[in-house]
Amino acid sequence: MTLRATLRLALAALVRNKARSLLTMLGIVIGVAAVIVTVAIGAGARISVQSSIDSLGSNLIVVQPGSVTTSGARSGFGGASTLTPADGMAIASLPGVASVSPVVTVRTQVVAGGNNWQTTVSGVAPTYTFVRLQSVASGRFFSQNEVASSAKVAVLGQTVVDQLFPNGGSPLGSTIIVKGAPFSVIGVMTPLGQSAMGQDQDDTVLIPYTSAMERLTGETTVNSLLVSAASSDDVDLAQQEITQLLEQRHRIVPPQGDDFQVRNLQSIAQAASQTSAVMEFLLAGVAAVSLLVGGIGIMNIMMVSVTERTREIGLRMAVGAPGRTILHQFLTESIVLATIGGFIGVAIGLAGTALVALLARWPTAVPFQWVVASVVFAALVGIFFGYAPARKAASLHPIEALRFE
């Protein structure tokens, strides 16, 4: 028999028992749909985490103060106030570094007219928008000349705008008071929303770092240096060069420990990606159990079908059908049953994924390879669990099959 004729006979046999066929497919349908939904949720979470990390900056390297020991007591990271803008300028001259921005952070009350709001005021350089991959929605960012002159200018995050200017008017040209010092608003940053840690990235005021040092902190050191490597391939090399440079500038020699720490986000991104991938495969594995249960259901029903059609099998053998043809027919029925269930499961899984994204507002992504793999695995389940019933049918003796009641 040709493949076309075998498929036609298989479909006809399945259509004769529509209800039983649909119920048999149910295990495969549930299994494939569960695989699609769980993988989509896992992949969406991984993409969301990676996007959040990427939004922190372009090939970002963070240099922070290290630990200092006083009378035998170690302060922990951040205790050593040794980083200066001059360190940032020296780092910017390294070949693997694209840009550097000092950061001076102060948590304080900001006042505008009759409204006030406690927020984070960050003193940064004009390169901050490049390092953090942020843009200005309206107005402009401050220039290097304004940094050099310690100008009293500010760029607001959208949350601060909403709190200080609730009437919806443009804040450009307005004056805000930060620790008694008036700052003119020259721009508004593009909204970023919440970070992966749940922090509001728009609840901020950006001013020149020189203004923050002179008018807010009175210090000559900065809280951190944000460094953007020239490319993702240069991150590790740039991190090593920064460490060596700062050790020279701070006159640190072994066994003396560094009074700073240099970190990049690639290790965090890799760890988050690996964790999400493990969870994705774990969820898919749990869902795949449903496929195995569905396969057992297929084997059970095919065994029943062989018993019911024993006389038909004997008649076909009596007129010359070889055992191989009988084997192919019943195996094809099993494969078609599982494959159709796989396609229905994919459709339900995609619909379920869209429903999760809509109702739960959870990021989802359906990798195409998982859709293909689900259908292929369903077909393999049909082959594996359908072979025993097909083999039983092919091994029947024609005379005994014709005598079967």
At 5-30, the pLDDT tens digits run: 778 877 887 888 888 888 888 888 88
Cα torsion 117, 123, 125, 129 to 10°: value is -30
189 with 44, same domain?
Answer: no
Residues in Cβ contact with 389 at an 8 Å cutoff, skipping those fewer than 6 apart = 299, 302, 303, 305, 306, 330, 334
Residue 109: both structure tokens together: 């009350």
202 with 336, same domain?
Answer: no
119 with 27, same domain?
Answer: no
When pLDDT is cut at 50, 70 and 90, the band that residue 73 belongs to is very low
250 with 232, same domain?
Answer: yes
Q: Which of 54-58, 74-78, 217-221 is predicted least confidently?
A: 74-78
Extended strands (E) in 18-96:
60-65, 69-70, 73-74
Residue 207: both structure tokens together: 């001013």
3-state secondary structure (DSSP) of residue 99: strand
- Tell which of 236, 264, 292 closes a domain: 264
312 with 180, same domain?
Answer: no
80 with 217, same domain?
Answer: yes
CA distances from 139 to 43, 130, 170, 263 (A): 38, 17, 10, 33
pTM above 0.75, yes or no: no
112 with 73, same domain?
Answer: yes
3-state helix, strand, coil in the chain (%, to 5): 55, 20, 25
Q: For the packed helices 18-54 and 3-16, what is the interaxial angle rounded to 10 degrees?
A: 110
240 with 360, same domain?
Answer: no
Partnered with residue 229 across adjacent β-strands are 97
Q: Note the pLDDT of residue 367.
A: 81
Nearest by Cα to 298 from 32, 36, 20: 20
Our CA angle for 82, 83, 85, nearest 5°, is: 135
- Residues in the chain, total: 405
Q: Note the pLDDT of residue 193.
A: 80
Hey, CA dihedral for 185, 187, 188, 192, is it positive or negative? negative
35 with 86, same domain?
Answer: no
- Contact (CB, 8 A) for 184 and 178: no
Question: Which one is predicted more confidently, 204 or 25?
Answer: 204
pLDDT in tens, 32-59: 888 888 888 877 777 776 666 665 555 8
172 with 276, same domain?
Answer: no
pLDDT in tens, 107-145: 999 999 889 999 999 999 999 999 888 899 999 999 999
159 with 210, same domain?
Answer: yes
- Contact (CB, 8 A) for 266 and 232: yes
Domain count, the chain: 2
What is the C-alpha to C-alpha distance for residues 371 and 347, in angstroms, rounded to an integer? 10
Give me the domain span that covers residue 30: 3-52+271-403
Q: What are phi and psi of 188, to 5 degrees?
A: -130, 130
Cα torsion 245, 249, 254, 260 to 10°: value is -80
198 with 333, same domain?
Answer: no
